[in-house]
Amino acid sequence: MPAPSERTRMPVAVYVLGLSVFALGTSEFMLSGILQPLARDLGVSIPQAGLLVSAFAIGMVVGAPVLAAATLRLPRRTTLIALLAVFGLGQIAGALAPSYGVLFASRVISALACAGFWAVGAAVAVSLVPVTARARAMAVMVGGLSIANIAGVPAGALLGQHAGWRSAFWAVAGMAVVGLVGVIALVPRTAVPTGDDRPQLRRELRIYQDKQVWLALTATAMNGAAVFALFSYLSPLLTETAGLAESWVPTVLALFGVGALIGTFVGGRIADAHLFGTLFAGIASSTVVLAVLALTAQSPVAAIALSLMLGVTAFTTAPALNARMFNVANAAPTLAGATTTAAFNIGNTLGPWLGGLTISAGWGYKSVAWTGAALAAVAVLTTFIAFRLHRSDRTSRIVASSAAPAGVPECVDVR
């Protein structure tokens, strides 16, 4: 048991990982601020441009488990360096893309690297802190995502409006270089496990025998889908439905990011002690915010205020969702990180796709808020089922260790 001071100290490497996530998050979310100039320049519709968000998410869904499995026995620091380098090259390819198809492909490649970095980086962050500080460690990484929404995404929108959308990709490539230097300099080296401690994919895959893993995955995916159904089309909703000038978009995106940072801070502070309470409060609040936004989307004041509130509610749950997955999949930390990443991005794929369908059906931009509210309600129901199961069956079916010594019971309560 670590001393109290050790329980509260966050290693500098965790903050370095959060800094790298800032670059990754900016790339993932910045299209919401440059969707219109990008669509105009490439000659595609807004829903088609929105599919670039789904392309990134699809790459994340595929890349997280595949790269986690492929790099399971590689040094984690080396893996992080390689993936961050590939991500930076993907941003350069996007900046130089001559067509929509090439840009789409560059987004998928960047997402594959981003997914692998998230999965391995989350496992590294969790491994550097006690079990009782997992949500706090993940809050630091998610905090990089929140700051990306505060600074990176609005800055990308400004660059897109004044220097062309390609300049935003060049800026992210530069941030990736900064993150790469930080990982090389400050993330500790780790030896490749050998002998009985060596990770084995077959053992780690046993986590998927636990229904709690699937419930956690579903809740995470539905929560992400709820947010991205709206967020991917926030810019046209603000300009076409709420009647705001396009110059307002970076400001509202920054407000969403401020809300996300507040939510991440709150969630990181309370989730370790009140995990299910944090999940219920955050997801239910997001459901209400999205429904109210659907009813009041024509009011500029309401659209701005509710965008801020959605950032708070959506990101309050993020540390808890991450910590929950690591708790129920404790036997396989790398695959736990990969599963969480895949789950978030299944939602990030589903949300923009469903939102695009409602827009194409002629239901208007406010329909994406209704779509988000419905998806969030499903996440609430899934969390309730997981809570009831958790209360009725305190013993997990997962393996206590991916390489448990002989004679040690394999079924333990790690929730």
Asked whether residue 142 is domain-assigned, the answer is: yes
Asked whether residue 118 is domain-assigned, the answer is: yes
User: CB of 307 within 8 A of CB of 257?
Assistant: no
Asked whether residue 404 is domain-assigned, the answer is: no
Amino acid at 242: A
Asked whether residue 399 is domain-assigned, the answer is: no
Going by C-alpha positions, the residue among 51, 376, 114 that lies closest to residue 221 is 376
Task: Tell me which residue range forms the domain holding 237.
Answer: 12-188+201-392
First and final CA of the chain: distance in angstroms?
A: 18
Asked whether residue 337 is domain-assigned, the answer is: yes
Asked whether residue 193 is domain-assigned, the answer is: no
Torsion of CA 311, 164, 159, 353, to 10 degrees: 10
User: CB of 135 within 8 A of CB of 275?
Assistant: yes
Give the count of alpha carbons within 13 A of 403, CB side only.
Answer: 9
Going by C-alpha positions, the residue among 171, 178, 220, 224 that lies closest to residue 18 is 178
Asked whether residue 194 is domain-assigned, the answer is: no
Q: Any idea what the CATH number is for the domain that residue 138 is in? A: 1.20.1250.20
Q: How many helices and strands (H and E) does the chain possess?
A: 17, 0
Cα–Cα distance measured from residue 297 to residue 365, given in angstroms and rounded to the nearest whole number: 9
Asked whether residue 108 is domain-assigned, the answer is: yes
| Per-position pLDDT tens, the chain of length 415 | 444 444 457 778 888 888 888 888 888 778 777 877 888 888 888 777 877 877 787 787 777 777 777 777 777 788 889 999 999 999 999 899 888 888 888 888 888 888 888 878 877 887 777 767 767 777 777 777 767 767 777 787 788 777 888 888 898 899 899 889 988 888 887 665 555 556 566 666 777 777 888 888 899 999 989 988 888 788 888 888 888 887 788 788 778 878 888 888 888 778 777 888 889 988 999 999 999 999 998 899 999 999 999 989 988 888 788 778 777 766 566 676 677 777 887 887 788 889 888 988 888 888 899 999 999 999 999 989 988 887 776 544 443 333 333 333 333 333 4
Number of domains in the chain: 1
